[in-house]
Amino acid sequence: MKAKVIVGAIVVVIGLVLGAMNFMESNVEYADFSVAEQSHKKVQVKGEWMKEEATNFDVQKVKFSFFMKDESNRVVKVVLDGAKPNNFELASSVVAKGKFTNGEFHASEVLTKCPSKYEGSSETVKKTL
């Protein structure tokens, strides 16, 4: 009976440790590019895609790159490990999750926010009133 209790306690402790590690890894804070560059850890940067700058998709390495301006107006090249996100051209804002490496922001994930089809322009609202 004692061996079962000890094994059960070890399993519970290992589960708690793994759960805490998973929580710490998924807890990613928002920052701008300057803070991200100094922190050397994974952060989320919110900004907008610089449409006038070049975008590139490297088929061999499966990497998509684009330029993004953060909320502090700093423009940085973002390299995403993967293909271009859906509706990227329609995005009103972009959130890149990753960290700085060699002067570029390397993202593991890029989220796009597209304008809602349910949001009307102010002109439409005025006409209906």
CATH number among 2.40.50.140, 3.40.50.410, 3.30.70.20, 3.40.50.300, domain 30-113: 2.40.50.140
CA-CA distance, 114 to 129, in Å (whole number)?
Answer: 26
Strand ranges for 15-101 from DSSP E: 30-31, 43-49, 56-58, 63-70, 75-81, 93-101
**Per-domain residue ranges for the chain?**
30-113
CB 88 within 8 A of CB 112: yes
The residues, ordered by sequence, that sit 6+ positions from 41 with a Cβ below 8 Å of its Cβ are 99
With cut-offs at 50, 70 and 90, classify the pLDDT of residue 122: low
3-class state of residue 110 by DSSP: strand
With cut-offs at 50, 70 and 90, classify the pLDDT of residue 3: confident
